[in-house]
Structure 1
Amino acid sequence: MATNENVQQVLDWAVAEVGIPGIVAEVKDGDRTWFGTAGVADIQTARRREPGEQFTTGSAAKAFTAAAMLTLEAEGRLSLTDTVEQWLPGVVRGNGNDGRQITIGQLLTHTSGLGITGLSVEIARKYHTRPGFAAHRYDVWTVEELLKLQMAIPPLYAPGTAFAYSNGGYHLAGAIIEKATGHSYEEEVDRTVVQPLGLTGTYARPFDEQRFRGPHARIYTRQFIKDGIDPASLTPDNYESLMEGPDSDPVDVTDRTIWGWAAGGVVSTTSDMLRFTNAMITGSLLPPAQHRTMWNTGPTRDWMPNTRYGTGVSQWALADGRTLHIVAGVELGTATFAMGTPDARRLVSVNINCDWNWYPVCSQVAEAAFGSPFLPPQ
C-alpha cells in the first residue's frame, strides 16, 4: 500500500536526516496491519529494531490510569465528582493546595490547578544533570515522596478554572485507585485494562524494577542541563536554552528505575498500543457513559499546540482541518505515539528510542499515514 510505503520513507528519513537512533511503526488499516522499522535498537551493536519490543510509554500511561479510574466509576466504587479529600484525607494541603476543592475528574483532565512538577529543582538535579543521573538512576521512589513533591509547590489556578499539565495530579489519582480498591495501582491496571484487552506485552512497572521484562531496544537521552547551570534557575521560558545541544553525547538510560508511576510508568509494545488505542477510541473497553467522559475534551494551555485534552487522552488538529485521537508520551530516552482517526479505521503506533526530535518525526508520520501533518504552532 502507498500509505505504508510513505510511512517507511518517514522512518528512513528520521534516522538518516533527523538523527533518531531507531524507530518502529505499526499501522492498522481496517483488518490489515503493517510493521516498519529503521535504524538500530542498540548503538553499540547496531542490532536492528524489531516487532514486539517493550518500551516505557511515558505519559501515554495516563490513558491507562484514566481507563482504570473510569472502570472503578462504572463499578460503583467511586465517582469522578468525589473530592480528593474524600479519598485521601489531609494529603492535599499546604502551599495553597486544598483537596477539599479538587475532584477526581479534575485530576484526570489537568484542570485541578495543581502546579507543574516537571521543572522542580529535585527532579532537575537528579535526572537532568549528568552527575545527578549517574548517582540517582536506581533510586526507588514511593507514592508518599511523589505526593510530597507535588505539595511542595503552590497551585497555578483555582480548581476547574484552567488547564495545567500536572503529573502530580495523576500520582494522586493512582493513590486514590489504591485506596478505593485495596490493591496496588499495578494490579488494578492489569485487572481493568491489560487482561480485558489481552495485552500480552503491557504492564504497569513497579517503582523498584530496574529493567524491562521482555525484549526491548536500548534508549538514549540528551536531556541534560548544561554544566554550570543551577537547576533552580530553570523556568518554562528558559528551559530549552539551558539544555545541552544536539552535538552532546547521548547517554544510555535503559536500565534504571522509573518514577513516573501512574503518570508515566506503563510499559507496552506497538501492537498493544494499537489495541489499547483502538479500544479507547471505539469504546470497546468502557461503558458508554465513561467513554463519553473520556473524550469530553477541553482546550489546553501551555502544553502542545492545537490540541484538546480529555480524560487521559487528547485530540490533535491536522493542518487540513481534521482531528486525530491521540495516546502519547515522552519519557527519559523514549517517545511513544499512537494516533487514529475518530472512527479508528486507521491507527498508527510509533516508538522512538530517544527523546529528541520526536515532534517533527511524529508529524511527518501523521502526514504519511493520514494525509496531513499536525497543524503547526502559530
Structure 2
Amino acid sequence: MTPTTHEKVQQVLDRAVAEDGVPGIVAEVHDSRGPWFATAGVADLTTGRTRRAGEHLHIGSSGKAFTAAVILTLAAEGTLGLDDPVDTWLPGVMAAGGYDGGTITVRHLLNHTSGLFLTGLAPELQHSLATDPSRVWTTSELLDLAVSQPPTGEPGEGFLYANGGYYLAGAIIEKATGNSYAAEVERTVLRPLDLADTYVRPATDTGYPNPHPRAYIADVLDNGADPASLTPEDYARMVQDSARPPVDGTGLNTSWGWAAGGIVSTTGDLGRFLRAIATGALLPEAQHRAMWTTVSPDDAVWLPHARYGLGVIEFDPAATDGLTLRGVSGTLPGSFTFALSTADGRRSVVVHSNIEPRSLDLPARIVEAVYGVVLD
C-alpha cells in the first residue's frame, strides 16, 4: 500500500533522529482530516523525556513574519509607509556605517534588499555568543551592530539576509507608535489571532514556560580553544562542526534576536499565524499583496526555489507543479522551525527540531512528504 501523508511525515522525523543526529523533532499537520501531531526522539537527552504537543519553542527568524505583519498593519492604519526612507523615522542612525538612510526604505529592510551586510556573521556578535552568552543586548547596541560593516550594495540591487534590517524595523515600530515592539506584536497579531501561547521573549529571559524541549547546539569551539582569549576575528576559524555530543544551550540569552527573531510560540500557534497570513485573514488586501510580493535570492545561499517576501518565503510555483506554498523558517542555537501552508490554508505543516539543521535536506523531505513535491 502507498504510505499516507502522515506515515511519510513520521518517516521523515524518524530519519532525522536516526541518521541526522537530531535529538528530538515534532511536526503538526493540518489538512482535510484535521490536526495531526507526530514526534520522534526526545526533548531531553539526559532524562529521555519525549517531545509532546504544546511545547514552547523559540522560533528564531520565523519571528520576522510577526515583525513584518506589525509594519504592514501600521501601514494599513496610516501610521507609516513601506516606502518611507529609514531616515524619516531614525534620522542619521544608518550614517555611522556609511549607509544612506534617505534612500533605504522600510520595504528594503523587510525583504533584505537594503544593502546591509549579513548581520548574523558580525564578528562582534559571534564573539559575544562564544565568550558572554548571557549578555543582554540593548536596542541601541543592536542598531549599532546593524551598520557595523559597510554596505554590500545599493538599495534594491540584490538580496542579502540581514537581521540588522529587522532591528531597524523594530526601532521604527517603536518610534512610529510610541509603544514597545512587544506591545505592538501583542496588539496587531497575538490578540487578533488569539495566540495565547505566543510572546516576544523579554531581553533578560533565559528560560521558557513548561512544557519545552531542551535546546542543543552542534557547533562548538574547537578542542583547546579558550573563549576568553579569542578576538572577534579569531572566533570564526575556531568553530567546528563537531562530531562530539551536542551541548545543552537551553539557558542562552537571545536578546540579540529581538525584532529579527525573538518570538516564542508553539506549533499550534505558529500554524494558526501562518495560515492567517498565507490566506489574507490577518491583513487587508493591499498589505497582504505587499507581504507576498517576493524577490529571488541566490539558490546557492538560500532554500532552493524559495523566494522571499516581507518576512516570509514562497516557493516558485514552477518548482512545485503550480502549487503555491507559503511559509516561514528560522534557526538559532538549539532550535529550528520550518512551516508551510497552501495559499488557501487547507494544508499546512509546522516542524521543530531542538538542534540546528546541518543541511537543507530536512525541509526538502517535509515538502515532499506533505505536498508530494520534489525540490530538485
Q: Which moved more, 1:294-303 or 1:55-64?
A: 294-303
Superposition TM-score, scaled by structure 2 size: 0.92
Which letter maps to 2:341?
G
Offset at residue 117 of structure 1 (A): 1.6
CA distance in 2, matches of 1:340, 1:244: 35
Aligned to 1:140: 136
Q: How does 1:304-343 map onto structure 2 within 5 Å?
A: 304-317=303-316, 320-322=320-322, 323-343=324-344
Matched, 1:362 2:358: no
Q: Which moved more, 1:225-234 or 1:2-11?
A: 225-234
Q: Is the 8 A contact 1:317 1:374 kept in 2?
A: no
CA distance in 1, matches of 2:206, 2:295: 36
Runs of 5+ unmatched residues, structure 1: none
CA distance in 1, matches of 2:334, 2:146: 23
Q: How does 1:120-139 map onto structure 2 within 5 Å?
A: 120-127=122-129, 129=130, 132=131, 136-139=132-135
Which letter maps to 1:154?
P
Q: 1:305 to 1:226 in 2, by over 3 A?
A: farther
Quote the sequence identity (%). Answer: 49
Q: Which moved more, 1:320-329 or 1:138-147?
A: 320-329
CA distance in 1, matches of 2:108, 2:168: 11
Q: Is the 8 A contact 1:97 1:151 kept in 2?
A: yes
- Aligned residue among 187, 192, 196 for 1:191: 187
CA distance in 2, matches of 1:139, 1:22: 27
Q: Is the 8 A contact 2:220 2:241 kept in 1?
A: no
Offset at residue 324 of structure 1 (A): 2.1
Matched, 1:212 2:202: no
SS in 2 for 1:139: coil
Superposition TM-score, scaled by structure 1 size: 0.91
SS in 1 for 2:327: strand
CA distance in 2, matches of 1:223, 1:264: 20
Aligned to 2:35: 33
- Aligned residue among 7, 10, 21 for 2:9: 7
Which letter maps to 2:176?
A
Which letter maps to 1:170?
Y
Q: Deviations over 1:48-86 (max 9, x none)?
A: 000000111111010000001000001111111111101
- Aligned residue among 112, 115, 119 for 1:113: 115
Offset at residue 317 of structure 1 (A): 4.6
Q: Which moved more, 1:137-146 or 1:216-225?
A: 216-225
Number of residue-to-residue matches in the alignment: 364
CA distance in 2, matches of 1:353, 1:374: 24
- The root-mean-square deviation of aligned C-alpha atoms, in Å, is 1.9
Aligned to 2:49: 47
Offset at residue 30 of structure 1 (A): 3.2
Q: Is the 8 A contact 2:29 2:37 kept in 1?
A: yes
Offset at residue 10 of structure 1 (A): 1.3
CA distance in 2, matches of 1:111, 1:243: 29
Q: Which moved more, 1:311-320 or 1:39-48?
A: 311-320
Q: Is the 8 A contact 1:23 1:352 kept in 2?
A: yes
Q: Deviations over 1:345-377 (max 9, x none)?
A: 2100000000133621222122111112333xx
CA distance in 2, matches of 1:30, 1:231: 51
Q: Deviations over 1:307-350 (max 9, x none)?
A: 21001101135855445212110111110011122322210000
Which letter maps to 2:314?
Q
CA distance in 2, matches of 1:244, 1:13: 24
SS in 2 for 1:144: helix
Offset at residue 36 of structure 1 (A): 0.3
Q: Deviations over 1:104-144 (max 9, x none)?
A: 111011111111122211122222x4xx2xxx222111000
CA distance in 1, matches of 2:157, 2:369: 37
Offset at residue 246 of structure 1 (A): 4.2
Matched, 1:169 2:171: no
Matched, 1:275 2:272: yes
Q: 1:67 to 1:99 in 2, by over 3 A?
A: same
Aligned to 1:260: 257
Offset at residue 251 of structure 1 (A): 1.1
Q: Is the 8 A contact 1:41 1:217 kept in 2?
A: yes
Q: How does 1:62-141 map onto structure 2 within 5 Å?
A: 62-127=64-129, 129=130, 132=131, 136-141=132-137
Q: Is the 8 A contact 2:31 2:348 kept in 1?
A: yes
SS in 1 for 2:159: coil
Which letter maps to 2:208?
F
Q: Is the 8 A contact 1:352 1:358 kept in 2?
A: no
Q: 1:370 to 1:68 in 2, by over 3 A?
A: same
CA distance in 2, matches of 1:312, 1:118: 16
Q: Which moved more, 1:53-62 or 1:86-95?
A: 86-95
Runs of 5+ unmatched residues, structure 2: none
Which letter maps to 1:186?
A
SS in 2 for 1:174: helix
Q: Which moved more, 1:87-96 or 1:107-116?
A: 87-96
Q: Deviations over 1:1-50 (max 9, x none)?
A: 81111111111111112111000000000361100001000000000000
CA distance in 2, matches of 1:21, 1:288: 41
Offset at residue 225 of structure 1 (A): 4.4
Q: Is the 8 A contact 1:335 1:358 kept in 2?
A: no
Q: Is the 8 A contact 2:340 2:348 kept in 1?
A: yes
Q: How does 1:281-300 map onto structure 2 within 5 Å?
A: 281-300=278-297
- Aligned residue among 215, 220, 223 for 2:219: 223
Q: Which moved more, 1:214-223 or 1:225-234?
A: 225-234
Q: 1:343 to 1:145 in 2, by over 3 A?
A: same
Q: Which moved more, 1:295-304 or 1:78-87?
A: 295-304
